[in-house]
Amino acid sequence: MTIPCSLHPLGTMISPYKIGEVLCNIKEGQTATVHLYPGVYYIRAQGAGGGGGRNGYFGNGQGGGSGAGFEGYLRIKGNVGKVTCTTGVGGAEAYDGNPGGNTQIGEIMTLGGGKGGAGENKEHVANAGIYTFNSSNNWEIISSTVARNGNQGLEATSSGDFVSGGNSVLTNSGGGKGHASATAPGAGGGGGYQWNINGGAGSYGECLVKFVRIY
C-alpha cells in the first residue's frame, strides 16, 4: 500500500493516480471534486455559450458569444489539495439573450460563459466569454493549444444559413445557424431574424481533467 504523494526511498515522487486516469469528466452544470497532487494534468474545458437575442420590427438579433476555453497541460507543484470543478449551463434565448454559465477549476482558472446576444435595434455588444488564469507558485501551464476568450456572436442576417452564434473555441464549430440553438459544447445560440423572432439557446460548458505523469 502506498501513501499518496509520499517520497520513495530513492526520492521519487509517488502518485496515487494511474497514468492516463480520468479524474473528472463533467458537463452542463455538473460539479466534481478532484484532489490535485504534484504532477502533470491534461485539461480540456470551456464555459457555456450565451443565448441569442431576438429579432423585431427594427432589426435582427445578435448571436450569443461562446465560452472561453482551455486545452493543455498544467503542472501542479505542491499538494494543492481538493479542488472543486464546476461547469456552466447554456444561456437561454431572450430579448437580450441570457449568458452562459462559467466553468471553473478551483482557484486555478475560470472559463467564462459567453454573454447573450443583444436584441433588435440595440448596439451589438462584445459578448465573448472571458478566459482567466490565476498565477501561483503552486501551479503553472506547461503548454496549451487553446487558452483564450470565446468567440464573438454576430448580427443575424436574413439568411437561415448564416452562423451568428459564436463557435466553440475548442472545436471551431457549433455556433447557432439562423435562429437555431448551438450544436456544440461551449457555442452560442443564433440570433432571431426576419419572421423568426426568437433566438437560439447556447450550449453547455464542460471540463475534463486527466492525470498524465508524476511531477
Can you give the pLDDT at residue 2? Answer: 36
Task: Give, for 157, the enclosing helix (H) or strand (E).
Answer: none
Query: What grid cell was written down for 7?
Result: 517520497
- Output DSSP code: residue 125: -
Q: Are strands 131-133 and 139-148 parallel, antiparallel or unpaired?
A: unpaired
Can you give the pLDDT at residue 104? Answer: 98
CA 36 to CA 23: how far, in whole Å? 10
Can you give the pLDDT at residue 175? Answer: 98
Can you give the pLDDT at residue 13? Answer: 60
| pLDDT, averaged across the chain | 92
Residues of the chain under the 50 pLDDT cut: 1-12
CA 45 to CA 74: how far, in whole Å? 12
CA 168 to CA 202: how far, in whole Å? 10
Q: What is the pTM of this model?
A: 0.92
Can you give the pLDDT at residue 37? Answer: 94
Can you give the pLDDT at residue 5? Answer: 37
Can you give the pLDDT at residue 165? Answer: 98
